[in-house]
Amino acid sequence: MSAKKTAPKRAAPSENDDEVQFIKSNKRQGMTASASSSKRRCKASGSTPKVSPSSSSDPATVLANLNTVVFPLTPVSLPEDSLAAIQSVQSDLLQEMSQLFHLGERMDDHASIKSDKAALTSQLREEKDNVLAKEKEIKDLKLRVRNQDEAWMLAASENVSLREQLERCEEEICVLR
């Protein structure tokens, strides 16, 4: 039975007080179900009547078993006509199968999306690691350039001081001659 079924609307009692008509919004409209006091007591107390296995071949017993044991929480009883009951159950079963099939498709889509997401996340991490490695390399190169600039400045200042010393030495040599 469908999990999204709404509670059926109860119509006015018919001529026979033991029979109540339920009106539903889907294909099967105007189902009748007998509301005997014993059924009401069983459903109200939460217990279900026991069916003997030897009488399971009787269609009425099978139908009663379906109504009380298999679908105890469903507020609508299946009709007494066994063909209509079977068609009703088949219809609900096909509807549930269709919903499960579509849910399975969505789950497959979800799984493929999840694997795609994992692959893209992995690719993004690799690219991020590559970018971080390049940035580190750039920082190292900038530090090298700065160190070389400082070394060049020191060499230039030492060169200037050595030239000055050389000039002084040359002047002293000239004075000594």
Q: Report DSSP letters for 75-97, one per residue.
A: SSPPPS-HHHHHHHHHHHHHHHH
Could you list the residue range(s) of the whole structural domain that residue 28 is in? 9-80
Residue 44 maps to a domain: yes
Residue 27 maps to a domain: yes
- pLDDT at residue number 7: 47
Q: Residue 92 phi/psi, 5° resolution?
A: -65, -40
Q: Averaged over 53-58, what is the pLDDT?
A: 59
- pLDDT at residue number 137: 97
Query: In total, how many domains does the chain have?
Result: 1
- pLDDT at residue number 113: 87
Mean pLDDT of the chain: 73
Residue 157 maps to a domain: no
- pLDDT at residue number 39: 45
Residue 51 maps to a domain: yes
- pLDDT at residue number 15: 46
Residue 158 maps to a domain: no
- pLDDT at residue number 77: 59
- pLDDT at residue number 154: 95
Residue 173 maps to a domain: no
Q: Which of 4, 18, 30, 15 is nearest to 84 (CA)?
A: 30
Does the pTM surpass 0.85? The reply is no
Residue 52 maps to a domain: yes
CA atoms within 13 A on the CB side of 72: 12
Residue 132 maps to a domain: no
